[in-house]
Amino acid sequence: MPTISGTTRVYAIIGHPIAQVQSPEYFNAFFAEKGIDAVLIPLHVKPQEAAAAIAALMRMPNLHGLIATVPHKAALLAAVEQRTDRAKLCNGANVARPDAQGVWHGDMLDGLGFVNGLRAHGHEPKDAVVHMAGAGGVGNAIAVALAEAGIASLTMWDLDWYRAQSLGTVLGNRFPKLHLRPERGNVAQASIVINATPLGMKPDDAMSIDVATLRPGTIVCDVISKPVMSRFLQAAQARGCPIMTGKDLFDGQAAAMKSFFGWS
């Protein structure tokens, strides 16, 4: 841990719950290694108190940034004065920082972290044919970032059909050249396959995608971080598919956060 003093730049991550977050351990070690006089602290904020807590934190002159995890991304977006198009499309922000004039800027980096992870493994998403299970918060952010990266088509499905349909409508309006299908589709035709659902965190969870339909060589990704090697990824790897884990997504997001906050 870095030494904390009166001049230390303070950053906070808010969530409900908060005990599971990995960011404080990761970034505080990074600050110590790089000699950065900063600290990231975890704060447990209840959903009904999110707006008031964020407003109070933003009034503190030595608070240099906020990170939001579930379920506070929409509240953070509502609190900032300047929002990226990406954050607006995702209807949430997971990072925010004040500029020299004290104006708070927000962005959504979940999807960008995913794209960073792909590229770090040598996989360029431009013109890719993507199949994704899950159109919730993480899936939404990933879909937006992949569309920004220039994928050719996106087939997506969710147990909540309306959620997948709504995401398809948002993406279609913003990216008219993107071929969209809010349905299960044919996984065998995809070049990138993504599990963006929580399925796989429990040992007895069903798989969101039928592994038997995967072609060898298809890039297979899972957003869950525990376990790092889900049964889905293990099965995909056994079929000859290169994989990307939830940890790879975290590493890609960490790189995006370092850039956003000026730590790199």
Mind telling me the catalytic residues? 73
Task: Say if CB 86 and CB 107 are below 8 A apart.
Answer: yes
**Concatenated DSSP letters of 178-216:** SEEE-S---GGG-SEEEE-SSTTSSTTPPPSS-GGGPPT
Cα–Cα distance measured from residue 20 to residue 199, given in angstroms and rounded to the nearest whole number: 17
Cα–Cα distance measured from residue 141 to residue 34, given in angstroms and rounded to the nearest whole number: 30
Cα–Cα distance measured from residue 21 to residue 35, given in angstroms and rounded to the nearest whole number: 23
Task: Say if CB 219 and CB 242 are below 8 A apart.
Answer: yes
Q: Which of 236, 234, 197, 200 is nearest to 215 (CA)?
A: 236
| List of residues 6+ apart from 63 with CB closer than 8 A | 10, 11, 12, 57
Strands, DSSP E only, in the chain? 9-15, 38-44, 63-68, 82-83, 95-98, 104-107, 129-133, 153-157, 179-181, 192-195, 219-222, 243-244
Q: Which two tokens stand for residue 85?
A: 């198009």
C-alpha pair distances (Å), 244 with each of 131, 152, 160, 256 = 14, 20, 25, 17
Cα–Cα distance measured from residue 62 to residue 11, given in angstroms and rounded to the nearest whole number: 9
- 3-state secondary structure (DSSP) of residue 133: strand
